[in-house]
Amino acid sequence: MVPAQSHPRRSFELTLASARRTMLFSEIVRLAIDSFRASKVRFMLTALGMVIGSASVIFVVTIGLTGKQYILNAIEGIGTNMVELEYSGGGAGNVNTNFQNDLLTRDDERAVDEQVPAVAASSPMLEMHDRISFGSGLVKDVLVLGVSPQYRQVRNLIVLSGRFFDDEDETTHTKVAVVTEPFARAMFGSTSAAINGTFQLSGIPFTIIGTFRERTDTFGQSEIADQTILVPYSVARYFTGTDNVKQIFFSIRDARDVEAASKQIVNVVHGRHQQNSVYTAQTLTALLTTASLIANALTIVLMLVSAVTLAVGGVGIMNIMLATVRSRIREIGIRKALGATAREIKLQFLIEAVFISLAGGLIGTIIGLAVPFSVRFFTSYRVPVSGWSAVIALVTSTMVGIIFGTLPANRAAQLDPVESLKYE
């Protein structure tokens, strides 16, 4: 039988052991702080490597996020909600059929508008390469695109001066045009001077009512070139003599519905033509995903490079702690003679190493976060700040202190107390 008093006694012993461990840890922390106070310069110089390394981690993440934000904003400026539909050709079995029946038409656009609820706006596009003439007798080769008024919304165009043609211009077949900024500057000297300027296309006079530019410079990789003129689709179709269009642009209400809506658009158009016809719906979703992955990969690579700085700081901590162990051999011997165990000695030097690395990491984290927050405070640019970068910097600093402080701590714990007391 176990005596009734055994349980209270066992509980008292556990409480006493817990209190002893608490006192032991607080004593070790106090000894570490006293050691730092005695060697302030050495402590600060050792922690400097961790300060630089931790700040570098946050700087790298901030730079990576800023670059990612810039790239994504540039792509979004083209139109993340945009779907570009075009006829890609006929499949097998279309050899003896008239491919003209497969080309896109304005009726296809109207069918999509009616059957795909996610579509917010749309515009057909007719493409013509022609020469225009001015009253002075100057002749110039330009790209003329016939589009609807909603083309401005779909393509996120910015009107620099004047206005874009509207539904009334489209309905009344008004001979008006909007021109690109480079065209206006080359032919009229400025964007404002181009307003009310005139030119002739196939002998028909047009009046310039506005100038525009793309929200994001696509460097000629879109359908809009530097020397481009936009005219109402209802006017442009008379120059081609056909209802066929080269492409149809759609704007989707929600960017999350782009992929699903693009498939619906293809299905609707495909159902109106021959079964073997091929239609392609291009979106920027894949490009956004790819750009995001590339930016994340570059950020990770830069973080690994900055981790080298943390490793160098860890080597510095290990060297200083090894020197500290050698300079405090007699102190270690006295502590062991007074009853300190090897575990307690090891814990003491390990805590000192962690304190150095963690203090450096904390200061570096504060500096690393202060820079982007200062930019956000003193400027209008919203520099992205990642809280995870601060967490990573602090955790990494702690791990560096543990990893590179283990060897000096083990060496201190293995010292013989008798030999240590004899050490001068």
3-state secondary structure (DSSP) of residue 56: helix
Average pLDDT, the chain: 80
Model confidence at 19, in pLDDT bands (50, 70, 90)? very low
Of 165-169, 297-301, 406-410, give the lowest mean pLDDT range: 297-301
Percent of the chain with pLDDT over 70: 82
Q: What is the pLDDT of residues 310-328, one digit of tens each?
A: 787 888 888 888 877 787 7
Domain segments of the chain as ranges? 35-73+298-422, 81-283
Residue 379 to residue 375: CA distance in whole angstroms: 6
**Do 294 and 307 meet the contact criterion of CB atoms below 8 Å apart?**
no
Sign of CA dihedral 78, 199, 127, 124: positive
pLDDT of 31: 67
User: What is the average pLDDT across 75-81?
Assistant: 65
Model confidence at 206, in pLDDT bands (50, 70, 90)? very high
Residue 262 to residue 81: CA distance in whole angstroms: 10
Is it the case that residue 404 has pLDDT exceeding 90?
A: no
pLDDT of 147: 93
Q: What is the pLDDT of residues 192-202, one digit of tens each?
A: 889 999 999 88
Is it the case that residue 56 has pLDDT exceeding 70?
A: yes
- The strand pair at 176-180 and 204-214 is best described as parallel
∠ at Cα 345 (342, 350), nearest 5°?
A: 120
0.85 exceeded by pTM: no
Model confidence at 78, in pLDDT bands (50, 70, 90)? low
User: What is the average pLDDT across 99-128?
Assistant: 86
User: What is the average pLDDT across 51-62?
Assistant: 84
- Chain centroid, CA 104 distance in Å: 36
Say if residue 166 is exposed, middle or buried (CB neighbours under 10 Å; 0-12, 13-18, 19+).
middle
Q: What is the pLDDT of residues 352-373, one digit of tens each?
A: 888 888 888 898 889 888 888 8
Q: What is the residue-wise DSSP string for 314-346?
A: HHHHHHHHHHHHHHTHHHHHHHHHTT--HHHHH
Residue 160 to residue 142: CA distance in whole angstroms: 20
What is the number of other CB atoms lying within 10 angstroms of the CB of residue 99?
13
Cβ partners under 8 Å of residue 174, min gap 6: 165, 168, 232, 235
pLDDT of 229: 92
Query: Among all chains, which residue has been given the structure tokens 């750009």?
Result: 291
Nearest Cα neighbor of 79 from 227, 216, 212, 178 is 216
Cβ partners under 8 Å of residue 38, min gap 6: none
Model confidence at 13, in pLDDT bands (50, 70, 90)? very low
